[in-house]
Amino acid sequence: MRTATVIAPAMTALLALAAAPGVGQDATSDPRLPEASQRLQQYLRIDTTNPPGNESEAVAFFADIFEREGIAYETVEPAPGRGSIWARLEGGPEPGIILLHHIDVVPADPRFWKHDPMSGTYENGYLNGRGALDTKGLGIMHLEAFLALARSGAALERDVIFLATADEEAGGRHGAGWIVQNRPDLLEGAGLVLNEGGSGRVLGNRVVFSVEVTQKVPMWLRLNAVGPAGHGSSPTTRSAVTDLIEALERLRQDPFAPRIVPAVGDFFRDLAELESAAAELADPEGLIAEPDRLAALHRTNPSLHALTRNTCAVTRLQASSKINVVPPAATAELDCRLLPDQEPRAFIRELRKRLDQPSISIEVLLSFKAAISSTDTDLYRAIEAVTARRFPGSTVMPAVTAGFTDSHFFRDLGIVAYGFSPAVIPGSDQGGIHGNNERISVQNVERGWRTMLDLLETIAVAPEQRPTSALGATPTAGGQH
């Protein structure tokens, strides 16, 4: 394989920083941690909060590792500080597999965390920090498996590509979206993607791995209301603000009609078989036909309820800049998520009718196309085989997610993309994703990257060079969580 390094000029200074203690390579990493977990601790300490992102500092962290390993890589930086990094292990003619994760993280308010969210604090077997689950932990699992595969020197039947991107949390315009549009050469020969969107959890006494195969489609909207302006001491009968409030209240009181698309129906029925508490999901059509039952699902499990209908969440409001001025304009921003078969223009027409306010215009800020990845692939079967070996008695199920990931960029190109993580996340920790006190256990990190390596060996290494575990024997590592 090639070992020459290609790096964007803007990254040179950051690469130099990566070699300095405290930047990408923290000299104070906890010595009790294994190497992979030490790397995750370092990664968590790089502040890549989006906005502004600052992903290029983390790119320098990865670049330094690839330099020391002699692995060729390339970086891109569509805007200052908004870096992504790519490295490829070259193999045979089978479609290449991309190990994808995003570098950026959402903001975290330290006032509501037990530990500083950028500290990577190790405590009671856990690494704490923003990005531990979304998705720096997964990125380190990818990295360690990628490095171990490179060190093995095994002949590969397909290319294996490590890809860490910027800006996913804001839609991917400076990350995966930019790469797909401007650097398609980096994806040449790729036919498979492993990304975020699925993970393991314990249902009863069984580990269940969900593999995300499709997702609701984001449509971010801005409602622009206009009306008469004036002094706050003499309110008029109507204004931009009151028109907007009334329209939003109509939308709140009249949600979109529920319906079950095939992928969601299959997902619900699978959940009902695996978990006694989910028995009501066995008949999805019957569930949505009874408003009281559907309302109860909304109260107890908003994520599953969101899969039964198009949704819009009001997330931002803006009006006057002064308390005593009735403004001539007011805006509301909506995070709408559409079922995979929803036609976007028809949705806008229905939304306009529900708002029922001529003074309000609708501006589309972000919109993607829907796509689904088939489970009839060698990669899906490899996920089933590897998780069965490493987590005896476990189950794999295709899943639909109410959120969105960068996978849609690749599905649009006809590339099979799965959301899969080998981590088994307790329910008590899942709220840390975009919430407070995000953390991941060291056990998950260390077992996770070895499971990921097993998966790569199963799907990418020539049969005659695969380790015994990748040929079907149950390894000694692994077991139940």
Domains, the chain:
9-197+405-471 (3.40.630.10), 217-367 (3.30.70.360)
| Mean predicted confidence (pLDDT) in 404-431 | 95
Residues 6+ positions from 298 with CB-CB distance below 8 Å: 305
Residue 19's pLDDT is what? 43
> What pLDDT, in 10s, does the model give residues 107-149?
999 999 999 999 999 999 999 999 999 999 999 999 999 999 9
The pLDDT assigned to 474 comes to 36
Share of the chain above pLDDT 90, in %: 86
Q: How far is residue 431's CA from residue 433's CA, in Å, rounded to a whole number?
A: 5
**CA nearest 25: which of 74, 54, 77, 63?**
63
Span of 61-70, 72-81, 95-104, 202-211 with lowest mean pLDDT: 202-211
Structure tokens at 394: 């476990």
Categorize the per-residue pLDDT at 470 as very low, low, confident or very high, splitting at 50, 70 and 90. low
- Spatial CA neighbour of 204 closest among 427, 447, 422, 432: 427
Q: How far apart are CA 239 and CA 330, in angstroms?
A: 9
- Mean pLDDT calculated for residue range 434-442: 97
Which residues make Cβ contacts (< 8 Å) with residue 206, sequence separation at least 6? 274, 393, 394, 395
Least confident of 18-27, 95-104, 283-292, 407-416: 18-27
8 A C-beta contact, residue 416 and residue 229? no
Of 121, 114, 54, 43, the closest CA to residue 84 belongs to 54
Q: Report pLDDT digits (tens) over 454-467.
A: 999 999 999 888 88
DSSP 152: H
How do residues 371-393 score in pLDDT, each as one tens digit? Answer: 999 999 999 999 999 999 999 99
- The average confidence (pLDDT) of the chain is 91
3-state SS class at 447: helix
Is the distance from CB of 174 to CB of 82 less than 8 angstroms?
Answer: yes
pLDDT at res. 9: 42
Tens digits of per-residue pLDDT, 151-181?
999 999 999 999 999 999 999 999 999 999 9
Partners of 165 in the β-ladder? 102
Quote the tokens at residue 48: 């890549």
Which two three-digit tokens encode residue 385?
């085989």
What distance, in Å, lies between the first and last C-alpha atoms of the chain? 37
CA 481 to CA 478: how far, in whole Å?
A: 8
pLDDT score for 8: 45
Contact 217, 117 (CB under 8 A): no
13, pLDDT greater than 50: no
Tokens of 338: 């559409």
H or E element at residue 384:
helix 378-390
Confidence band (pLDDT; 50, 70, 90) for 441?
very high
User: DSSP character for 478?
Assistant: -
Query: Residue 119 half-sphere exposure, CB side, CA atoms within 13 Å?
Result: 14
The three-state secondary structure class of 180 is: helix
Give the model confidence (pLDDT) of 295-314 as tens digits.
999 999 999 999 999 999 99
Tell me which amino acid residue 338 is.
L
Round to whole Å and give the CA distance between 385 and 369. Answer: 31
Give the pLDDT score at 97: 98
Enter the pTM of the model: 0.87
Q: What is the pLDDT of residue 3?
A: 34
Per-residue tokens: 170? 């804001």
343, two tokens = 């036609």
pLDDT by residue (tens digit) across 214-240? Answer: 999 999 999 999 999 999 999 999 999
29 — pLDDT class (breaks 50, 70, 90): confident
Enumerate residues 6+ apart whose C-beta is below 8 A from 426. 201, 202
